């Protein structure tokens, strides 16, 4: 029957993988903001230790991180990238070894 590679779900539907990654990272924005707010409350006895631009900057960093993670996910979903991973880094290939 020859070599048959099972196509990963990431390869079959790459934009779904990108959406999942972006949603996962964007879901962290409220969590990180809550942690930052708690940190600010802890720092209040020490004066104005944290400037007001911290929250917008933190959110900008999170958005940039989400976009970068989505872009990397899309690149990793390309069949040519997965073929390269299967050949040179099989431990990182989406489904491991080819089916006999």
Average pLDDT over residues 21-47: 78
> Which H, E and C letters describe the chain, residue by residue?
CCCECCCCHHHHCHHHHHHHHHHHHHHHHHHHHHHHHHHHHHHHHHCCCCCCCHHHHHHHHHHHHHHHHHHHHHHHCCHHHHHHHHHHCHHHCCCCCCEC
Q: How much is the pLDDT for 100?
A: 46
Inform me whether the pLDDT recorded for 26 exceeds 50. yes
Q: How much is the pLDDT for 50?
A: 66
Each domain of the chain, given as residue ranges in start order, spans 13-92
Inform me whether the pLDDT recorded for 6 exceeds 70. no
Q: How much is the pLDDT for 5?
A: 56
Average pLDDT over residues 6-29: 75
Compare 93 and 64 and report the one with higher pLDDT: 64
Inform me whether the pLDDT recorded for 74 exceeds 80. yes
Q: How much is the pLDDT for 1?
A: 44
């Amino acid at each position: 029957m020859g070599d048959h590679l099972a196509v990963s779900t990431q390869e079959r539907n790459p934009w779904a993988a990108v959406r999942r990654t972006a949603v996962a990272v964007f879901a962290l924005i409220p969590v990180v903001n809550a942690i930052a707010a708690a940190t600010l409350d802890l720092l209040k006895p020490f004066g104005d230790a944290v400037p007001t631009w911290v929250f917008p900057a933190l959110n900008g960093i999170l958005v940039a991180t989400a976009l970068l993670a989505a872009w990397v996910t899309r690149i990793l979903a390309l069949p040519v990238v997965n073929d390269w991973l299967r050949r040179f880094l099989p431990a990182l290939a989406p489904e491991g070894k080819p089916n006999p």
